[in-house]
Structure 1
Amino acid sequence: MTTLALPQRALEEMARETIHDRIVGCLFGSALGDAIGLYTEFLSADTARLTYLSQKFTLCPPSEATPFRRDAHRNPNVPGEWTDDTDHAMCILLSFLHKDGKEMDPQDFASRLHIWVRMGLRALDTLPLGLGHTVGAIVRNQTYLNNPEGTARKHWQHSNYKVAPNGSIMRTHPLGLMCINKTLEETFQIAADYSVVTHVDPRCIISCAIGTALIRGLIRQEICKEEHIDDIVGKGIAWYSAYRLRRIEKDASCKEEPELDLEELNKHVKANDLTELELDDMYKMGYTYKTFGSGIHLLRLAIRKVAASESSLSTRTSIFETLITDLIMRGGDADTNACFAGALLGAYLGYKVLPSHWRDGLKHGDWLMGKAEGLSILLGVGQGTYSDREEGYDVAS
């Protein structure tokens, strides 16, 4: 095999273009997973199979888009729309863009979330459809804006420390992009700071910390083997142990809170098959580890497929659709599971190989592309300048 010798400038340009493609791929991959996942959200796997016999979905052209199962949950939507999962991620992204990429501000995100619960995503004039019980109960509390974490912690305590839903992991992926120039430790901490705005359970925090770090590592091209995933998981666990000790030093009462159950974490991180995760368990389908575990499992499968095919383009173009379709046909909280998994796969595979019959049918796709390009510019990998003031629409006045 001939070795290709390129000048340093060409290598740097190729690296920049790859990072750019992966940033856009992450944002679109998550939104597409969300939109496709809505087809089977809250269904059992059996009902999903009976409803969508072909197990094939298309969003483009709109006139030929796969129709939804008609029920009270899906009736307000049209094919190609994303849900609250992506809306909340957009609140994080819009906050960062509004501050010209110079600051990550969890309190500003909390303010935007407070507006979203009441009005929806004002930048797109969309309603707050799909609002989860945990986020709704916490954000609507009159103490929320003054103390988001404290309000979330009281809610968790009142649940007897049992509430660990997936409402923070579904929105965490933009942070992995924003942390591209941060250290791994800083990335873990930033993810935690954004999680506790609504979700303070250790399982939610560790899911967000590791999930965000995986996005960062994929964008930086530091994760290309399964052992790299396991390395991030191990470092995330070590970080959380130190994080908990720091919290106890500041507030001794934190010692009474549940510790991280490593056996439970590893059971989901090291699942051999999606069946093991029981994604359509009607009582536990919104559990953060189900979303976390299914996303990591799909990333492992994607890495294996790329390695087995020696990175052939034809294989890369089929991976996203094949894996996401299989995931959503398991039912459960399918849009959230596919939103997180789609972010990981998009960050790994890039935008250019996402299925065009999904990508080109995404509602508000042009708007999302503008935000993705703006983020790329602020991170130093896009061309031009960015000065769109639209992000201010979702700021509390």
Structure 2
Amino acid sequence: MNFRDRIKGAFFGMALGDALGLGTEFMSAEEVKYYYPGGLRHFSQIIRDGHRCLWKRGEWTNDTHIVVMLAESIMEKGKLHLNDFAARLKKWGTENPADMTDFYHSLFANEDWAEHPKEVTHRIWKNNGVYRASNEALLRAVVIGMLGNPHLTDNAVDISAITHDDTRCSACSAIIAVMADSLLCTGKPADYAQLVEIANMIDPRTLKYLEIAHEGEFEDLEIDDENSLWFARKTMASALWAIWHCNSAEEVLYRIVDAGGDADTNAALAMGLAGLQHGYAALPDIVNDLIDYKRMEDVSSRFINYIENNCK
């Protein structure tokens, strides 16, 4: 397997996990069993309630839209450019996307945010007493991991901090980026001791979840707990657990989706890493039924060319 297949696997893995995970998003594991007795295995099964009817079956959500925006920004600017990415996010916000997280509105409403995203985000979070280490920024770290370079962890922290001014989010982002880089370059998970060092250096509160992912049972994460299902640390840990304990991309997808919780984000992140580990060819066949398949094929192909010419 070559790195081209791994990169394509990452992009399509994120889109697939996102689109199928929508079907169990915000459900408990018991609710998943009720609505999908044999497990959720195809887009056609996705129930049409007040939340899920905002998207067509097989359509990815905001999680993948933002990944595509980041990739487009990097390719057009020739590097990670925080201001350009912030400007794209802000423009996207004016289009009233479905299910956009509420605190994005306060960021985008600030006229200086796109030019000074980290500084403005820090000020808004501090002044408003925001304390929510949520998972919305984590998928960006997979893209950062594919870029590599000596500033990998710094870039991962920065790409998270432009919207999430919390060191728990920063630590999770850095850990995911390092894992993505290792899977792309070697096909093997990053050294656990290295990830522990990152957790201890940026925010030791991340370490508990890292340890569960490596040594514990999947159920220990309680990712469908309604009071914590959006935790960045849980999303990070569920993805890492899948990489360390599942044997195929298909097993990763179904294990995460059938667990409920914030399933679209959890599955998108886990499948982004699984795509890097196992490659595009190992993804379940339903990937071909993604509504915007051709768009993702174009984005991933151009990103592969960008990496070939500029990074790896």
Same fold, TM-score > 0.5, yes or no: yes
Deviations 1:38-62 (A, max 9, x none): 0001111111110011214224xxx
For 2:111 and 2:265, locate their aligned partners in 1 and report how far apart those are by CA, in whole Å: 27
- Paired position in structure 1 for 2:271: 342
For the residue of structure 2 that corresponds to 1:162, the secondary structure is coil
Pick which of 339-348 and 261-270 moved more.
Answer: 261-270
- Deviations 1:169-196 (CA, angstroms, capped at 9, x unpaired): 03321111122xx12xx10011111111
Output the CA distance in 2 between the equivalents of 1:370 and 1:79.
Answer: 21
Match of 2:226 in 1: 282
Distance 1:178 1:52, change over 3 A: same
Distance 2:73 2:117 in 1: 16
Q: What is the aligned partner in structure 1 of residue 33 from structure 2?
A: 49
- Report matched runs for 1:150-229 at 5 Å: 150-158=119-127, 160=129, 162-179=131-148, 182-183=149-150, 186-221=151-186, 224=188, 228-229=190-191
Distance 2:112 2:307 in 1: 35
Aligned-residue offset at 1:133: 2.1
Q: How many residues align?
A: 310
Distance across 1 between alignment mates of 2:102 and 2:180: 27
Structure number with higher helix proportion? 2
The letter for the 2-side match of 1:94 is E
**Cα gap change, 1:379 to 1:170, in 2 (>3 Å):** closer
Once the two structures are superposed, residues 97-142 of structure 1 have per-residue CA deviations (whole angstroms, 9 ceiling, x without a partner) of: 212xx321011110000011112xxxxxxx6222112333322334
Distance in 1 of aligned mates of 2:97 and 2:72: 16
Instruction: Determine the structure 1 residue equivalent to 2:14.
Output: 30
Aligned 8 A contact 1:268 1:290 in 2: no
Q: Give the corresponding residue for 1:233.
A: 195
State whether residues 142 and 177 of structure 2, in contact with CA within 8 Å, keep that contact through their aligned partners in structure 1: yes
Q: Which amino acid in 1 is paired with 2:184?
A: I
Hey, what's the Cα distance between the residues in 2 that align with 1:94 and 1:231?
A: 33
Q: Is the counterpart of residue 58 in structure 1 residue 46 in structure 2?
A: no
Kindly tell me: are residues 368 and 277 of structure 1, through their superposed partners in 2, closer, same or farther at Cα, counting changes over 3 Å? same
State the 1:276 CA deviation. Answer: 1.0
Counterpart amino acid of residue 54 in structure 1? G
Aligned to 2:293: 365
Q: Distance in 2 between matches of 1:271 and 1:160?
A: 34
Cα–Cα, structure 1 residues 137 and 170, in superposed 2: closer, same or farther, change >3 Å?
farther
Distance in 1 of aligned mates of 2:263 and 2:172: 17
Aligned equivalents of 2:204, 2:121: Cα separation in 1: 18
TM-score (norm 1): 0.73
Instruction: Give the 3-state SS of the residue equivalent to 1:38 in structure 2.
Output: helix
Paired with 2:103 and 2:208, the residues of 1 have a C-alpha distance of 22
Give the alignment of 1:49-198 within 5 angstroms: 49-59=33-43, 65-66=44-45, 68-99=46-77, 102-119=78-95, 128-158=97-127, 160=129, 162-179=131-148, 182-183=149-150, 186-198=151-163
Preserved contact between residue 9 and residue 278 of structure 2 (Cα < 8 Å):
yes
Give the match for residue 272 of structure 1: 216
Q: Which amino acid aligns with 1:211?
A: I
1:260 shift after superposition = 3.8
CA distance in 1, matches of 2:4, 2:54: 34
Q: Distance in 1 between matches of 2:124 and 2:37?
A: 41
Identity percentage of aligned residues = 26
In 2 relative to 1, CA 45–84 (structure 1 residues): closer, same or farther, beyond 3 Å? same
CA shift in 2, pair 1:116/1:162, >3 Å: same
Choose 1 or 2 for highest CA Rg: 1
Is the partner of 1:75 in helix, strand or coil? helix
- 1:337 to partner: Cα distance: 0.4
8 Å CA contact 1:214–1:232 kept in 2: the answer is no
Q: Which residue of 2 aligns with 1:19?
A: 3
Letter in 1 for 2:277: Y
**DSSP 3-state at the match of 2:170:** helix
Shift of 1:262: 5.2
- Distance in 2 (alpha carbons) for counterparts of 1:150 and 1:27: 30
Deviations 1:124-163 (A, max 9, x none): xxx6222112333322334422321122213332454621
With over 3 angstroms needed to count, the CA separation of the structure-2 counterparts of 1:262 and 1:215, relative to structure 1, is closer
8 A Cα contact 2:172 2:206, kept in partner: no
Which amino acid is the alignment partner of residue 89 of structure 1?
V
Amino acid of the residue matched to residue 2 of structure 2?
A: T
Give 1:216 shift: 1.0
Partner of 1:291: 235
Contact (CA 8 Å) 2:249, 2:283: kept in 1 or not?
yes
1:19/1:381 contact within 8 Å kept: no
**1:49 & 1:136 partners in 2: Cα distance?**
35
Distance 2:206 2:282 in 1: 36
Amino acid aligned to 1:353: A
How far apart, in 1, do the equivalents of 2:172 and 2:222 lie? 18
Which amino acid is 2:158 matched to?
Answer: D
